Every structure is written in structure tokens, then in C-alpha cells.
Homo-oligomer: A and B are copies of this chain.
């Protein structure tokens, strides 16, 4: 049975000491730190890393991955003060001059690799940002070269980052997600091509971002099996039989609006087929943790984290080693 961890991003306002105690009481096997770690400090201070590891260990929690979603986002994005400033550390934002922000963000993503190394883990999960996400839908007509340039920009900015990851023997796991350079199977393939299949780059598989888009997330696992470095368990609700007022593009509404086509859900209350995901993870021999990323605007998060953990525990299973035939063997 795989370890089940809690992604801490949605609990970033709770001090790690407290959250770790709660997570342990709830029954989690570990944490995926998002917002509870100073990447820069961890990249340079073994002592700081040791404190974190001790704290976790005291609560019987394992660590498999840390998150660099927020700084990763700024590497390729068109920097917008009203949107990016709030998600970046002060020292990355600096004077806010876009190119400077992007370069400092890249450095921080590299810091995450060294932080991971210092923490003795292999995985950094995160976002990449994208300079071409806004070209969505494609009207007015898009010069295909514009898309190429977006992937070239990504490659130019991320190859040096990934080379550092390689040095650290750490892997960057992109959460394929709208607003990133990869957000479905086609764009994920193009992303890998753009960086010549850099061996330090792979994916943090999160099915919630695929289901409502109509993307085949089981095929995603099969197609990129050797690149599935980490897995988020996150659910989403949508119902193609009931068209609504704000479609997949969201109608400029905020998450949680009941008029929306999709909203994230506590695990088991949405439409993602986790049974099929678990079986496919078995087939592709994914051995890492299942990290619960809990988000459900209608529900108390502590109640939700617990029911989600129970849901994953019930669903995941010990693999068999007996080959049955159509009927019983002798």
C-alpha cells in the first residue's frame, strides 16, 4: 500500500508544528510541503532542513516531495503585479521588473532542487508558467510560430534549471494544469519535445485538471508512464448531462460559484475515477506517495482532509502476486 500524504498548500496559514500534529492524528503518512518551507533557506541550511525533518519525524510523517508551484509559475509567465506579487516571496518579486522577476523565480526553482537534496528527497512538484496560455482558443488567428516561440521560451528558461536538478539528482514534476506550458496530453508531449526529453523533468499527475476538460487521464498515465514522478489525489465535479450557465471557460466566475461547470471537491464527491487510476498506477508500477490535495469551497477543510484520507485508504490496495486463471487453480 502506498504512503498517503497531505499537500499542505491549502493549510498554509497553520504553523507546521500544529499541522503536522493534526495530519498525524488524522492518519496521514506524510506531508508534501507547499507554503511551509523557505526554499532558499532550505537550499543553503542543513540545520533548517534537519529541523523540518525532525518535526515531521516526531509526528511519524514522511517527506517525499516539496512544492515549488508558486515560484515556478513566475518563470515563464507574463508578470502582472496584481496577480504574481501576492504569490511570490519578497526577494523574488524584488522591484517587480518582469524579466528580473522571472530570472529570480528561476533561481528559486533551482534552490528547491538543492533544498530537496538537503532534505534527502528526490521530487520537487511545481508549475512552469507559460508565455502563451493567453493564446487560448485561437481567435484572432494565431501564427503557429507564436506557439513555437512559447515552447522555445520555456525550453530556454527551464533547461538550465533542469541541468541543476540533474546535478542534485532531483526531479522536477510539473503539475499539468491550465495556465502552464502543459495542460493536456498534446501539450505535455510538446513540452517534453521542447526540452529534448530532459531526464530530470516529468509530471506531478493530478487528474482533477483533466476530467472537466475532457482529457483522457488514464491515457496520460500510460503515455508518460516513466515520467510520472508524483501523484496528486484531487477530485472535481462536473456533469456533461447538465449544461449550465458558466461553461468550462469559467465565465469569469470564482471557484465555488454554483453556476460554474466544474468545481473542485473533497475526494470521492466528484467525478474522477480513482479506482481506474489506482489500477493504472499499479500497471505502470508507480511506487511513490498518493498526495491528497484537498480543495472544496463548500466544506470545512479539516473535516474534508480526514474523509479524503479515508477515501484513499479504502481505495488503494495491496497488489497481488498470483496469476489467476479463469477459475481456481489446483
Which positions in A face B, CB cutoff 8 Å? 7-10, 12-13, 34-35, 69-70, 73, 77, 80, 82-84, 86-87, 132-147, 150, 177-179, 183-187, 190, 210-217, 219, 238, 240-256, 258-259, 261, 264, 266, 269, 275, 279-280, 282-283, 295-301, 303-304, 307, 317-330
CA distance A256 to B144 in the complex (A): 14
A324 touches B84 (CB 8 A): no
How far is the CB of A143 from the nearest CB of chain B, in Å? 5
A245 touches B215 (CB 8 A): yes
Contact of A317 with B303 at beta-carbon distance under 8 Å, contacts A12-B329, A13-B329 already known: yes
B77 touches A140 (CB 8 A): yes
- 14 pairs across A/B with beta carbons < 8 Å? A9-B327, A82-B145, A133-B134, A187-B246, A187-B251, A210-B243, A210-B247, A215-B244, A242-B242, A254-B323, A256-B323, A269-B275, A299-B318, A299-B319
Contact of A73 with B140 at beta-carbon distance under 8 Å, contacts A185-B251, A215-B247, A261-B214 already known: yes
B213 touches A248 (CB 8 A): yes
A238 touches B214 (CB 8 A): yes
Instruction: Beyond A136-B249, A219-B243, A300-B320, list 5 extra A-B contacts (CB 8 Å).
Output: A12-B328, A141-B329, A213-B247, A215-B261, A303-B318
Prevailing SS type, chain A contact patch: loop
B216 touches A82 (CB 8 A): no
How far is the CB of A212 from the nearest CB of chain B, in Å? 8
CA distance A214 to B247 in the complex (A): 5
CA distance A298 to B316 in the complex (A): 11
Of B13, B134, B322, the residue contacting A134 (CB under 8 A) is B134
B248 touches A214 (CB 8 A): yes
Pick from A135, A244, A251, A307 the residue with the most CB of B within 10 Å: A251
CA distance A269 to B320 in the complex (A): 15
Select from chain B the residue with minimum beta-carbon distance to A175.
Answer: B327
Contact of A300 with B326 at beta-carbon distance under 8 Å, contacts A140-B73, A215-B243, A254-B144 already known: no
CA distance A318 to B306 in the complex (A): 12
CA distance A328 to B134 in the complex (A): 21
Of B69, B243, B330, the residue contacting A35 (CB under 8 A) is B330
B299 touches A139 (CB 8 A): no
CA distance A238 to B243 in the complex (A): 14
B326 touches A301 (CB 8 A): no
How far is the CB of A325 from the nearest CB of chain B, in Å? 4
Select from chain B the residue with minimum beta-carbon distance to A148.
Answer: B252
CA distance A252 to B141 in the complex (A): 12
A298 touches B319 (CB 8 A): yes
A249 touches B178 (CB 8 A): yes
With a CB–CB cut-off of 8 A, which chain B residues contact A12? Answer: 328-330
CA distance A145 to B184 in the complex (A): 30
